[in-house]
């Protein structure tokens, strides 16, 4: 009787894939593959193309963010779009205006001339990387960028037409904050997700799109929601101190924090139409 030993390969479970994808959002992820027979691997040192075996993924870091935002501010809104009075009167500054408190933003965004007649004003856009909206405090900020707000609500880069682009990396959920110099700041209620290479978010459709809802955001007409005007002191609150600030500059013209409707003039409509109805609102951006 003969005896012998038989040895076999030890294999780890793998998938051979001809197609597949991975996506993540709102705390969940989906990974899928479609099987194939070819398993050739190509590499140039920095990137690897594997026709077959799906690679394990841990600690995913997503980088490169093309950001398409739609947001309205109450002051210059006329029922369908925003007026461009500051632009038409050549009152818009050529450099971003957020380099002082409370923003203290040191960005060097500047243009030789305002590139688009549809520009309403400058805004400051901030990205935060957090597990949920309540955790998305200023400590989770990963990037800021000043851009232009157009009359149709779109936010652009310095050319006045392209969407904002960031090169930053995030690992959890991506929340977007929008600041304006005399309107209450807002933050997305949900982590924004990517479709077709674009991270898009429309703040205008409901107060549910904004963290904290109507406590710091308002219906500016019909089904359109926008950032609330009246924060002259830029402290995230609309209260008596903003009226005091308005009174100190009443009658003056120009690019003023107390010009709530952005028509270049500080006068009674700024107080009566914007500060007065908004005086109990406050920004709900987590700090």
Mean per-residue pLDDT, 178-183:
98
Number of neighbouring beta carbons within 10 Å of residue 260: 29
Residue 13 has pLDDT above 50, yes or no: no
- Residue 86 vs residues 79, 91, 114, 147, 220: alpha-carbon distances, Å: 18, 5, 11, 16, 20
Count CA atoms closer than 13 A to 252's CA, side-chain side: 13
Instruction: Quote the pLDDT of residue 29.
Output: 41
Q: What integer is the mean pLDDT of 141-162?
A: 98
Spatial separation of the C-alpha atoms in residues 72 and 224, rounded to whole Å: 8
Per-residue model confidence (pLDDT) at position 50: 47
Q: Is 216's pLDDT higher than 80?
A: yes
| Mean pLDDT of the 238-256 span | 98
Count of CB atoms situated within 10 Å of the CB of 255? 16
Examine the pLDDT at 135 and tell me if it is beyond 50. Answer: yes
Q: pLDDT averaged over the chain?
A: 86
pLDDT confidence of residue 62: 65
Percent of the chain topping pLDDT 90: 78
pLDDT at residue number 52 = 47
- What's the whole-model pTM score? 0.79
Q: What is the pLDDT of residue 94?
A: 98
Question: What pLDDT score was predicted for residue 170?
Answer: 94
- Residue 64: the pLDDT is 84
Q: Model confidence over 60-119: pLDDT tens digits?
A: 566 689 999 999 999 999 999 999 999 999 999 999 999 999 999 999 999 999 999 999
Which residue's entry shows tokens 């977007």?
176
Q: Is the peptide bond before 102 cis (omega within 30 degrees of 0)?
A: yes
Is the pLDDT confidence value at 32 over 70? no
Q: What is the pLDDT of residue 68?
A: 98
Residue 163 burial (CB count, 10 A): 16
Judged against a pLDDT cut of 90, whether residue 58 lies above it is answered with no
Interval 186-214 mean pLDDT: 97
| pLDDT attached to residue 259 | 98
Is the predicted pLDDT of residue 44 greater than 90, yes or no?
A: no
- For the chain, list the domains and their CATH numbers: 17-50 (no CATH), 63-278 (2.60.40.4130)
Task: Please report, for residues 135, 163, 173, 193, 272, the alpha-carbon distance to residue 28 in angstroms, rounded to integers and kept in the order given.
Answer: 17, 27, 10, 11, 47
């Amino acid at each position: 009787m003969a005896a012998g030993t038989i040895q076999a390969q030890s294999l780890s479970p793998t998938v051979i894939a001809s197609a597949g994808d991975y996506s993540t959002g709102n705390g969940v992820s989906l990974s899928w593959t479609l099987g194939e027979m070819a398993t050739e691997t190509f590499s140039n040192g920095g990137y690897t193309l594997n026709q077959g075996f799906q690679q394990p993924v841990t600690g995913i870091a997503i980088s490169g963010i093309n950001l398409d935002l739609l947001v309205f501010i109450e002051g210059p809104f006329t029922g369908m779009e925003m007026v461009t009075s500051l632009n038409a009167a050549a009152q818009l500054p050529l450099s971003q205006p957020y380099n002082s408190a409370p923003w203290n933003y040191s960005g060097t965004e500047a243009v030789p001339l305002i590139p688009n007649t549809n520009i309403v004003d400058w805004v400051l856009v901030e990205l935060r990387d957090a597990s949920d909206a309540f955790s998305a405090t200023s400590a989770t900020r990963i990037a800021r960028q000043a851009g232009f707000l157009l009359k149709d609500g779109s936010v652009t880069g310095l050319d006045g037409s392209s969407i904002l682009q960031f090169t930053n990396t995030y690992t959890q959920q991506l929340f977007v904050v929008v600041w304006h110099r005399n309107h209450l700041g807002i933050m997305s209620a949900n982590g924004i997700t990517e479709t077709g290479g674009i991270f898009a978010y429309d703040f205008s459709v409901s107060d549910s799109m904004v963290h904290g809802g109507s406590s710091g955001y308002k219906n500016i007409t019909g089904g359109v929601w926008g950032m609330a005007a009246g924060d002259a002191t830029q402290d995230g609150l609309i209260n008596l101190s903003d009226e005091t600030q308005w009174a100190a500059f009443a009658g003056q013209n120009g690019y003023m924090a107390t010009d709530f409707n952005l028509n270049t003039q500080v006068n009674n409509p700024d107080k009566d139409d914007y500060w007065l109805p908004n005086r109990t609102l406050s920004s709900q951006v987590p700090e």
